[in-house]
Every structure is written in structure tokens, then in C-alpha cells.
Structure 1
Amino acid sequence: MSRRVTPTLLASVLLMAGLVGCSTDARKTESWQAPSEPPPAATPTPKVPAGTAPKGAFGVGVRQLKLNRDGRALPVTLWYPAAGNTGGAAKRSAAAATGRFPVVMFSHGLTGRPEDYATLLTRWAAAGFVVAAPTFPHTSRGSDGNILDVLNQPADVSYALTQVLALDGKAGDGLRGRLATDRVAAAGHSAGGVTTIGLFTASRDERLDAGVVFAGTAVGVGTAFAGATAPQLFVHGELDEVVDYAAGKAAYDKVPWPKALLSLPKGDHGRALLGDAATLRVVADTSVEFLRWSLYGDAEAKKRIPTDATRGDIATFDNHL
């Protein structure tokens, strides 16, 4: 599933200069605004069969995988449901909880790292998901910052997903027999949102059942959403100073599957999402219920999504799930 940058995409990817500084300490930059188009009709319900998500919270374990794809170093941080007490910080290499848990691949933004998103991602893990977050070789903090390399990141995620799923059958691994290998989502913020959209468009990974896009745009990866039905949740601040809200909305409008858009009227590119407690609770709770529905097939979780999304008048919710 490897896909390198092609000349036909180089011109369009130059527009991604607006993504420079998309980590939590981003400075204000010019943004690109995509044309808005009417939304297409949604297709039928997701392929994940009906089921029930765990009702209680888990403790959270954390560990590292050292991966390499054709010379591209891809260290992956894994947060996962752990046995023992709930709450508190994630415990390094803790024993995994009993059960089989869906997998969520998370992609960080430009100049970011997986640990920047730990507050959100540990909440996903505590709710019953294994979260795998690669550190990308050219867009992470401390790298050369080559924005063009974003177009190679969908293939990085697909490679990392293959390696993560293989842990389910690896003798002696702490996650052996703990992964629901047939229930997988992709998520990402900013440049990681571009990466995530690409996994459902130009670099479609058919193993993916759902997507969550934070402050993302389709520049460079297109909006030719393809493959089996995969529900999408978009989250975007209306005051985003890096990726214009209209650009994210334009990508959302092109999604042909069940979808929803959580809009934050006072939200910027990520600081409010990652740093404001009330906003983070709304985003975390909404995304958890979305993942419970789309990966566990939990119909009751789907019913709770609109309530969580509109709690406290922090966000508005366009719901086509």
C-alpha cells in the first residue's frame, strides 16, 4: 500500500503551507479555503455488526514499538486498556486488560508528537481502544519539517497498522489475543488530519471502518472517498487560524458515508481542543461515543452522541450518522 509523492500532487501540496505550525504552539499563518459544495447522500450503515462497548473505564498502559518502513523510522506509541486500577497516568508496559479491543491509528500534526495528544488518546484507551500513534520521520517536532512528506504518511500509517495488528498473534507479546483486528479506525489532527483523509481517498486502506479528522483538509489527498462505508467524525474550530474552517467543511461535505461535524465556534487550530478542559471533555466524550458505535457497533452509544456533542453550548453538531 506504499504510495510516494507524485508530480501531479506537488502543485496542490504547495497549498499546504497553511499547515506550517499546526502543533499546539502554532503561530498564525495564511490559510487555504476550499470551495464549498452540497453534501452527497449518505450510504447505508457501517459494516461493523451490532454489539456492546465496555461500560466501565479501564486503566491505561503505554509502550513503544520501534518500526521502520523502507528506511523511514516510525516509532509508535501504544496506549491500551490495562488491568488494575483506573484513573491516573498511563503505566508503562502495564499488563493488558482482558478482552479484545478495536484499534485506532492516530496521526499527529506538523511539528507535533504523539505525546502532545496524550490527554485525549488516554481517554480513548480507557474507554476500550488500543491507540497506536506513529512519530513521522519528516513532520514531527525535531525533524526537518518537510511538509511535502505528508503525502507519504498514509502509507506509513498503513504499514504501522499491519505491524500493530500482527501483535495479536505474536507469541509472548503483551497484546497477544487482545486486538479486535477486524475493527479499526484512523484519526489525526491538522497534517495528521490530511493523512487520515488520505487513508480514505487516494491511499484507501480497506481495513479501516471509521475516521476522526481534527482540523483537517483534503489538500493534496483529494476528496475521492472510496471503498466500503466508513463513518466519519470531523471536528473543527471556527476560528482556526491555520486550516480555514471552510476548508475542513468542504472536505466533510464530500464524504459519501454516515458522517457528523462537531464545530467549535470559539475553537482555534488546536490549543482550545488540547488545552481547554471543558472543550476537551466535549470532544473526548463525543469521539468516544462515535468510536463505540462505529467500532463496537453499540447502538446506544450512537444515541448518546448528539447529547455529548451539544453539552454546555460549546459546540454545534451537524449529524448525518
Structure 2
Amino acid sequence: MPRRVTPALLASAVLMAGLVGCSADARKTEGQQAPVEPPPAATPTPQVPAGKAPQRAFAVGVRQLKLNRDGRALPTTLWYPAAGQSGGAAKRSATAAEGRFPVVMFSHGLGGRPDDYATLLTRWAAAGFVVAAPTFPHTSRGADNNVLDVLNQPADVSYALDQVLALNGKADDALRGRLDSERVAAAGHSAGGVTTIGLFTASRDERLDAGVVFAGTALGVGTAFAGAAAPQLFVHGELDEVVEYAAGRAAYDKVPWPKAMLSLPKGDHGRALLSDGATLRVVSDTSVEFLRWSLYGDADARKRIPTDATRGDIATFDDHL
């Protein structure tokens, strides 16, 4: 019986298979030896502010923002730490927890929506992060799936970040005073991974301190990583049927900053991100500790990353953080 493919991943496959097939960077010509490149020049250690991430889990609230960038509708879902008992599903418009929390901008894959990733993003929010996920106008489920519009999405994310951070000073907003605008990351899956890489290359947003790329490639946005050093975590299935593992690895290899790659020997294009299971638990725990370290400056979290990454022999971990 053929394995079940969700509509979001099938659409992503249609997009990315064509793009990867056209990419000169994504694969080597068979039988041709790749040129040997000199090692990248040394780069400064990122100025991660020292601190401690919250030691407890939070309840999670969820709300919607109606955003629009020059006619591009960008409804944005916010998951955030909330007051009350931790655990359970996110509560609509719950009261925000006390504190100031880093912000993570998340970009969905082609044919997807933010809610598809709710299990993962709720865990990030429960760990003490405000997660903002725009629904893109041409690459979300039900849209026209215009592949080339992925190149406009880094600007969409930067605009959405502007609007999210503005809530911090909005007198009547429930998140007033709850956002730490000095600690911001970007993350994304598949086409959203392309978007995320773009935010550190051709469309560098200098407010970003770290990135998490799930099953991404640099096709269309390049590998000219720019600006201040921003640690990167790449997560990629070695059996990815859409974006070849080699393409993700090639982008990762070009990152000149502290970086790590979580490789899933039995992983595909990312089905594990959409529902709970052992693989998602490894991915979520590893990414949470990475964000605790890169945004909160938590040195203990940095020490825990390799242990979480290699738990249960589900993944291997290339650590250059």
C-alpha cells in the first residue's frame, strides 16, 4: 500500500522537486568530483547575551493578527506563553504569562498553513517563546501555489516581524511589554526553509539572532550569508524525497557562523513535524535547547543539545556551535 502523503507535503513535493531538479547547487553531476573549496574565514562568535531560559513549562495561548503588506494578505498566528497550568492544547486569546519572551518567526511549506505545525510550535511557546507564523498569500493551502512567490516571502516575514514587535508598545494589547525585541529568530520548513535562509542571505534581516531550517535549500536565495554571526540549526531527513539531503547539506556547509545539523537517517521531507511521535520529540527538544541557548544565552541549554539530538538513535548530530 502506498504511504499516505498529506496535501501540504504533496504540494511541497511538486514545488521543490522541480526546483531542486533545476538547481546546479543541489547535486553533483554523476561521476564529476566536486571542486575543493578553501575553508571559510574565521568569524566572530555571536554576541549571545548571557542569561537563563525559563525553567518551567508554560500554558500556551493562541491568537490571530490580520496583517497586510501592500496588498499581500498575511494573516499571522501567534502562539505565546500564557498564564495558568501548563499542558493541553493552546487556549484562544489566553492571558499572557508574566515576563519578556524572545520571538521566533516561522514560515510554513508550500501548500501548508501554520496550524499544520501546531504541535511543534506549541512546544516552543510552552518553553518560553512567542512564535509568529504568517500564512503566505500564494504558497499556502488553497492559494495558487505560485512557486516564484517564495522569493517575496523573506520581505513578508520582515514586515510581519515589524508588526509583531509593535505590539510590545501598544497600550491596549495583551502582549504589551511581553516581547524581547533584542532576541529574535527565524525558522521554516521546506519552502519556508528557503524563506528562512533568504532572511540571512539576500534579504538579511539584521534583527535576527538565530535560524532553524527544516528540509530547506538555498535555491533562489543563495548562500551569501551576511551580517552579524547568527547561529543556525539545520534539520534534514536523509531520505527526503523532495529536497535532497545533499542540497540541504550544501546550504548548511556554506554557513560561516556557529552551526549544527540534525540528520535523520530514516527521515523523509518532514512528516514527523506534523504529528507527535518519537522523531518529533527529538526534533522539538533539540530545537528548544538551541533556541534557549541562542536567544536566552543559556549555557546549560547549550550543553544539553547533543544529548537531546542523539537520544534513541533517531538522529545524528554535526555540532559546530
TM-score, normalised to structure 2, is 0.91
Q: Unpaired segments of 5 or more residues in structure 1?
A: 1-20
Distance (Å, rounded) in 1 between the aligned partners of 2:159 and 2:59? 28
Give the superposition deviation at 1:49: 1.1
AA in 2 matched with 1:59: A
Give the superposition deviation at 1:45: 2.4
Distance (Å, rounded) in 2 between the aligned partners of 1:270 and 1:23? 10
Match of 1:64 in 2: 64
Give the superposition deviation at 1:265: 0.3
Q: Which shifted more, 23-32 or 283-292?
A: 23-32
Residue 223 (str. 1) matches residue 223 (str. 2)? yes
Residue 78 (str. 1) matches residue 63 (str. 2)? no
Per-residue CA deviation, residues 114-166 of structure 1 (Å, 9 max, x unaligned), is 00000000000000000000000000000011000000000000000000000
Distance (Å, rounded) in 1 between the aligned partners of 2:140 and 2:258? 31
Give the superposition deviation at 1:272: 2.8
SS at match of 1:263: strand
Match of 2:98 in 1: 98
1:77–1:114 CA contact under 8 A, matched in 2:
yes
1:138–1:146 CA contact under 8 A, matched in 2:
yes
Relative to structure 1, is the Cα distance of residues 288 and 61 closer, same or farther in structure 2, using a 3 angstrom cutoff? same
Give the superposition deviation at 1:47: 1.6
Give the superposition deviation at 1:274: 2.6
Relative to structure 1, is the Cα distance of residues 115 and 245 closer, same or farther in structure 2, using a 3 angstrom cutoff? same
Relative to structure 1, is the Cα distance of residues 42 and 135 closer, same or farther in structure 2, using a 3 angstrom cutoff? farther
Per-residue CA deviation, residues 291-310 of structure 1 (Å, 9 max, x unaligned), is 00000000000000000000
Give the superposition deviation at 1:27: 7.9
Residue 147 (str. 1) matches residue 121 (str. 2)? no
Give the superposition deviation at 1:185: 0.1
SS at match of 1:275: coil
Match of 2:252 in 1: 252
CA RMSD of aligned residues (A): 1.6
Distance (Å, rounded) in 1 between the aligned partners of 2:201 and 2:13? 28
Per-residue CA deviation, residues 241-273 of structure 1 (Å, 9 max, x unaligned), is 000000000000000000000000000001133
Distance (Å, rounded) in 1 between the aligned partners of 2:313 and 2:300? 22
Give the superposition deviation at 1:172: 1.0
Distance (Å, rounded) in 1 between the aligned partners of 2:253 and 2:294? 19
Distance (Å, rounded) in 1 between the aligned partners of 2:227 and 2:213? 18
Match of 1:156 in 2: 156
2:11–2:110 CA contact under 8 A, matched in 1:
no
2:9–2:110 CA contact under 8 A, matched in 1:
no
Distance (Å, rounded) in 1 between the aligned partners of 2:49 and 2:110? 35
AA in 1 matched with 2:258: P
SS at match of 1:77: strand
SS at match of 2:161: helix
Per-residue CA deviation, residues 191-244 of structure 1 (Å, 9 max, x unaligned), is 000000000000000000000000000000000000001000000000000000
AA in 1 matched with 2:81: P
Q: Which shifted more, 181-190 or 29-38?
A: 29-38
Relative to structure 1, is the Cα distance of residues 94 and 157 closer, same or farther in structure 2, using a 3 angstrom cutoff? same
1:60–1:82 CA contact under 8 A, matched in 2:
yes
Which structure has more RCO (C-alpha within 8 Å, separation ≥ 6)? 1
2:117–2:273 CA contact under 8 A, matched in 1:
no
Residue 288 (str. 1) matches residue 293 (str. 2)? no
1:105–1:157 CA contact under 8 A, matched in 2:
yes
Distance (Å, rounded) in 2 between the aligned partners of 1:273 and 1:109? 11
AA in 2 matched with 1:162: D
SS at match of 1:23: helix
Q: Which shifted more, 132-141 or 269-278?
A: 269-278
AA in 2 matched with 1:95: T
Give the superposition deviation at 1:90: 0.1
Per-residue CA deviation, residues 80-130 of structure 1 (Å, 9 max, x unaligned), is 000001000000000000000000000000000000000000000000000
1:25–1:271 CA contact under 8 A, matched in 2:
no
Match of 2:31 in 1: none
2:119–2:275 CA contact under 8 A, matched in 1:
no
2:12–2:109 CA contact under 8 A, matched in 1:
no
Q: How many residues align?
A: 301
For 1:1-321, what aligned pairs fall within 5 Å after superposition? 23-25=8-10, 30=17, 31-32=20-21, 33-35=26-28, 40=40, 43-275=43-275, 277-321=277-321
Q: Unpaired segments of 5 or more residues in structure 2?
A: 1-5, 29-33
Q: Percent identity?
A: 83
